[in-house]
Structure 1
Amino acid sequence: MPSVADQTSLDEFLNEKCRLGNVSPDEAHYVFDCMIQRQPTPPMSSFIMLFTALAKNKHYDDVISLLKRFNPTGSFPNLILFNIFLNCLCNVSRTCEGFAVFGRILRRGFFPDTVTFTCFIKGLCREGRIMKATCLFKKMKAFGCRPNVVTYATIINGLCRTRNTSVALKLHEEMLKGNGEIEAICTPNIVSYNTLIDGLCKDGLLEKAKELFSEMTSRGINPNVVSYTSLIHGLCCWGKWEEAKDLIVEMMDQHVQANVVTFSVIINELCKKGNIVKAYELLELMVERGVEPNTITYSTLIDGFCKIGKLDKANELFELMIQRGVNPNTVTYNTLIDGFCLAGRIDDARELFDAMTNKGCRHDILSRN
């Protein structure tokens, strides 16, 4: 455990470990015990640094526990501590308790700020209570609070996740143009753009999604791998493969490196739609661009070829993955064995079954109905 025998050593711990967020729960509990026993008590800023470091590492239950020891009544001396407590409660889906904390904030004469409301909105969205989150968002103005980009990104994400994309889009426009009472509130960030693009693609509103993608770049916000992947996936879902392929090339030309997950998601979508040829073309593009396919990528394509009865192509791909040092898993073996059995190629199935046994994979032959 760290030595915090005097104020100097405590300050070193707070500045060196807490500022970097490099604090374990055990260390935090030990240091907290030392702090509350010390006379005089360390300044409030020291406690805030300790709690903030724990919260950043998502040790929310530990923060709640320590804050309750710090003040069992939950009536803290400043709004920062209230907000830390509220944030942790909302992050562990205890938003109802958070409303009790909100009451204490008001009773102590503090004015809730944008951070207070954003914590609540995030917690409510996490719990799927999007209507309550939206109502709270609208009530911010009554408390003299203006939402910031994080608040907007949070509520937009909640709305898109619950398929309320049209409402989210209106909030995006409000961010840019104001709501009739005030001018533009804040500039959307890449998180809110990515969330909206993904939501619009899932709703089939590809033109609007592409429009937002262009708007983002025109505002100097460079699309990242999430932005490209969302739009590419949407294009594939709605049968616009050539546009998707062009966007993949553009993505890499812009030095946004597509990863194996990006490609695998798109390959999976193409295979589900029976477009195996295009999926295989994408596999070749992956290799050409230096992105190594993984077991999931190969297994998805093998399954696709099996479903359309191209067992030789599936087996060729199976052998190719082994040559490239990618190990088949149980799903890979089961898929190909099942395909051989359904095609009456029992000897091939038995040979693969034996290879599977030698590799130590469990036997779980799948059945296509």
Structure 2
Amino acid sequence: MALKEAQPSFYFASEAAALSSDSVPSLNHFRNLTTSNSKSEPSSPSPSNSTEPNNSLLRAVKDRFSLDEFLNDRCKSGDINHSDALCLFDCMLNKWSSPPPMSSFNILFGGLAKSKQYDTAVSLFKRLNSVGLLLPNFLSYCILINCFSKIGRVLDGFIVFGRMLRGSFTPNVVVFTSLIKGLCAESRIMEAAAVFTKLKAFGCEPNVITCTTLINGLCRIGHTIIALNLFEAMADGNGEFGVEGFVDKAMEMFLQMKDENINPNVVTYTSLIHGFCHVDDWNEAKRLFIEMMDQGVQPNVVSFNVVIDDLCKNGKMNEASWLVELMIQRGVHPDAFTYSTLMDGFCLTGRINRAKALKLFDEMQLNGVVPDSITYATLVDGLCKNGFVLEAVELFYNLKNLKCELNVVSYNCLIDGLCKSGQLKVAWELFQRLLHEGLMPNVFTYNIMIHGL
């Protein structure tokens, strides 16, 4: 059962967009540079066109096969020095009647970037581009953008980004992360935040490096609220940043924030607890929940629901029930999600019957919680799956008499229970009643009926 709550990243995106539009004219750089039709090249110092030949290297690279071997052995690992790179580049351009493919040059440029020889990579790329024999491909642009970002020339990186777009290449998260890192390195943090908000438009999901780079930058310039909103989205393992490794990294940043006297609030704690529940680290989630209360941060209904949901999914119903009682004692009112989760947990553990279902239903109403369609469907489905089909039918019609809003999901649950218990006639009558009520059967309804017959 998915937790319903506001996505923290929405708040991050809106706040970052507002700040960047108010205080920084520089998002125009993103817009102008990436749409510029300028034919000027990003400036770069050019190495000498003539290099002293490295005889041992030239002997090693005697044909295309040996070139590929050398590139794979030396360049992919970043084990190439400046002079060997220049010599190899000249060899690749001049030794044969036609140069090797762009992929071979990319391995050379990538090796230079890996060994932090960014200026050399940029210069050689410029020389290759001036010859005009080969067209850059996607990887070429990625390497070049990374190099420009690393040497404090992120605006040149945006020029390359624009050419990438005009070449019909779609940038990925690695490209955006390079640009964001470059902007942050030049202390252009709000521009980096503005670029971050554009990832979704290009179908990209930020990764751990993207998020932590921006969070660190935002904290550095005092925008801790925006940083916390991004952190909360990152920490929530079931949110839009729910990727392996995010929760552990978020925990590192959580500790770092506390060291810098940035006090976590209930949303920060809840996001992190939700993340640890999502990766099945119950012990850490429990520790954080207790720490939150010890630190005087009052859990809200979402905080309790996160923990109750995890307990129910793991069959710890006594603990979940106790937590609901604690919740009420602390003046936090359970909602429909709380009770639906509890009912679902009792169903999963086989500890539900009609009396138990009605007791929970009555308790829910006694506490002023209005049941919703999910609650009804959970009750009916739980009874059916635990073999109490007749009780489910009785409950269903009681709910109908009470004018409770039963949707197609509730009908599907009961029809499925009836079919599986061999009561096909009653199932068919209920199917007809569904149509009579003006509800539209869905694909699950028809699948249940087909398999039942």
Short-chain TM bin: 0.5 to 0.7
Distance 1:212 1:332, change over 3 A: same
Within the candidate set 44, 48, 51, 2:23 is matched to: 44
SS at match of 1:73: helix
Higher relative contact order (CA 8 A, sep 6+): 2
Amino acid at match of 2:303: S
Sort the Cα spacing of 1:100 and 1:267 in 2 relative to 1 into closer, same or farther, 3 A. same
Correspondence for 1:127 among 214, 238, 243: 243
In 2 relative to 1, CA 336–111 (structure 1 residues): closer, same or farther, beyond 3 Å? closer
Letter aligned with residue 269 of structure 1? G
**Aligned-residue offset at 1:43:** 5.6
Do structure 1's residue 222 and structure 2's residue 333 form an aligned pair? yes
Relative to structure 1, is the Cα distance of residues 162 and 267 closer, same or farther in structure 2, using a 3 angstrom cutoff? farther
Would you say how many aligned residue pairs link Structure 1 and Structure 2? 279
- The equivalent residue for 1:276 is 389
Q: TM-score, normalised by structure 2?
A: 0.53
Counterpart of 2:115 in structure 1 is none
- CA deviation digits over 1:278-322, x for unaligned, max 9? 322331242133222222221221121111211122122222223
Shift of 1:195: 0.6
One-letter amino acid of the counterpart of residue 301, structure 1: L
The root-mean-square deviation of aligned C-alpha atoms, in Å, is 3.9
Letter in 2 for 1:217: I
Q: Structure 1 unaligned runs (5+)?
A: 1-20, 37-41, 49-67, 179-183, 341-369
Paired position in structure 2 for 1:147: 264
**In the alignment, what sits opposite 1:208?**
319
Q: CA deviation at 1:84?
A: 7.5
- Provide the C-alpha distance between the structure 2 equivalents of 1:235 and 1:284, rounded to a whole number of angstroms: 22
Which contiguous aligned blocks of 4+ residues in structure 1 show a shift greater than 6 angstroms?
45-48, 75-91
Q: How far did 1:149 drift?
A: 0.7
Residue type matched to 1:195 in 2?
A: V
Cα distance in 2 between the residues matched to 1:192 and 1:333? 38
Structure 2 CA distance for partners of 1:196 and 1:86, relative to 1, 3 Å: farther
Matches within 5 A, 1:51-90: 73-74=183-184
Equivalent AA in structure 2 for residue 152 of structure 1 = Y
- Give the aligned residue type for 1:73: L
Q: 1:100 to 1:329 in 2, by over 3 A?
A: closer
Q: Which residue of the partner structure matches residue 427 of structure 2?
A: 314
What is the alpha-carbon distance in structure 2 between the residues aligned to residue 266 and residue 76 of structure 1?
A: 57
1:77-226 aligned at under 5 Å gives the runs 92-105=205-218, 110=221, 113=224, 115-117=226-228, 119-124=230-235, 125=237, 126-129=242-245, 130-178=247-295, 184=296, 186-226=297-337
The one-letter amino acid paired with 1:147 is: P
The 3 A distance-change label for structure 1 pair 246 and 74 is same
> Is the 1:322–1:328 Cα contact (8 Å) retained in structure 2?
yes
- Which region of structure 1 is more displaced relative to structure 2, 277-286 or 144-153? 277-286
Mapping of residues 279-290 of structure 1, within 5 Å: 279-290=392-403
Please report how far the alpha carbon of residue 45 of structure 1 lies from its aligned counterpart in structure 2 after TM superposition.
9.6
Q: Is the Cα–Cα contact under 8 Å of residues 364 and 371 in structure 2 kept in the other structure?
A: yes
Mapped to 1, the partners of 2:431 and 2:292 lie a distance apart of: 51
8 A Cα contact 2:273 2:288, kept in partner = yes
Which residue in the other structure is 1:15 paired with? Answer: none
Query: Using a 3 Å threshold, how does the CA distance of structure 1 residues 310 and 79 change in structure 2: closer, same or farther?
Result: same
Return the TM-score normalized by structure 1.
0.63
Change in Cα spacing, 1:312 to 1:255, as seen in structure 2 (3 Å) is same
CA distance in 2, matches of 1:246, 1:176: 30
Task: Return the offset for 1:118.
Answer: 5.1
Please tell me whether the aligned partners of residues 411 and 434 of structure 2 are also in contact (alpha carbons under 8 angstroms).
yes
Query: How far apart, in 1, do the equivalents of 2:438 and 2:383 lie?
Result: 25
8 Å contact kept, 2:199–2:205: yes
> Do 1:86 and 1:120's aligned partners in 2 also have CA atoms closer than 8 Å?
no
Aligned counterparts of 2:366 and 2:187: Cα–Cα separation in 1: 54
- CA drift of 1:138 comes to 2.6
SS at match of 2:439: coil
Q: Structure 2: 5+ residue runs without aligned partners?
A: 1-9, 28-177
In the other structure, the counterpart of 1:62 is: none
**2:379, 2:191 → 1: CA distance?**
45
Deviation of residue 153 (structure 1)? 0.6
Match of 1:245 in 2: 358
Can you list the C-alpha shifts for 1:26-71, whole angstroms capped at 9, x where unaligned?
xxx9xx9xxx9xxxxx9639999xxxxxxxxxxxxxxxxxxx99xx
The structure-2 alpha-carbon separation of the partners of 1:191 and 1:334, relative to structure 1 and needing over 3 Å to count, comes to closer
Q: What is the identity, as a one-letter code, of the residue corresponding to 2:231?
A: F
**C-alpha distance 84-113 of structure 1, shift in aligned 2 (>3 A):** farther
Decide whether the 8 Å contact of 2:183 with 2:192 is kept in 1. no
